[in-house]
Chain A
Amino acid sequence: MDLLPGFARWIHVWAGITWVGLLYYFNFVQVPALKEAAADGTAAGITRHVAPRALLWFRWAAVVTWLAGAALLGKAFVPAFTLQEDYAAIGVGAWLGTIMLFNVWVLIWPNQKKILGMVPAGDAAKARARRVAFLASRTNTMLSVPMIFFMTNGLTHRAIFGL
């Protein structure tokens, strides 16, 4: 049983890198690139071949990250999510990660399916979906900043920050 936290931590960090790495790819690379690609008529290559693959890894990496994080917390799961003493800092990170997972599956992915034509949608619905998905993705990028702070310091470096 002592092996479980070690494996859970390994998978949590591994999947987390994939998830947040792709989140940063979308926000720092793909969105600005799509604006320029749309101007010269080459956006289809990205939306047809790159975005669906990136989104597949993105949304499932989010699930694996959360599950491995929950396994890693183990008995501390409830104390963390109820912000009990000793687990409050990691609990804030866990809550932020959970909100981000919610955004991925409830706001980003359903709207991306409309944008990429995987489900039928009119022009107005696509325009709205584009804005909702964009803002949800940007919200996750914003949340990732405190999430990484509390995740990386929440258990091992609390004393340094007086938490």
Chain B
Amino acid sequence: MLLNRLFCANLNTLDVQRFFTEKRPMKNPLDSISGTLISGVILTLVLYVFLKNFILAGV
């Protein structure tokens, strides 16, 4: 029901089951330029949070 609302499609139980069980090849984000740059921005945020909250915490 929730997936139905989310995707605005007529999904039945089998569709949902198939969505979660079918094997899809995992893509490497570094294979595309956009994936590489988005990964870089995410890594920037992760390092920033790590630095601010763990390395510099209490300073």
Contact = CB atoms under 8 A, between A and B. Distances in A.
A135 B28 CA distance: 10
Interface in B1-41: 28, 30-31, 33, 36-37, 39-41
Contacts of B48: 149, 161, 163
Give chain A's interface secondary structure class. helix
Contacts of A83: 51, 55
A161 B31 CA distance: 31
Interface string A112-141: 000000000000000000000001001101
B56 to A, nearest CB: 6
B33 A28 contact: yes
Contact of A162 (B28, B30, B52): B52
Given A138-B30, A145-B41, A27 B36 contact: yes
Given A92-B47, A135-B30, A150-B47, A145 B55 contact: no
Nearest to A83: B55
A25 B40 CA distance: 17
Q: Using C-beta atoms within 8 Å of the partner chain, give the interface range for chain B.
A: 10 to 19
Contacts, number: 49
Contacts of B28: 135
A89 B31 CA distance: 29
A83 to B, nearest CB: 5
The CB with the most chain A CB atoms within 10 A, among B36, B41, B43, is that of: B36
A88 B37 contact: no
Given A88-B51, A141-B37, A142-B39, 7 more contacts: A83-B55, A89-B51, A92-B51, A141-B36, A146-B44, A150-B47, A163-B51
Interface of A: 27-28, 83, 85, 88-89, 92, 135, 138-139, 141-146, 149-150, 161-163
9 contacts: A28-B33, A85-B56, A88-B51, A88-B55, A141-B36, A141-B40, A142-B30, A142-B39, A145-B41
Listed from nearest, the 5 A-B pairs whose CB atoms lie closest are A145-B40, A138-B30, A146-B44, A142-B40, A142-B39
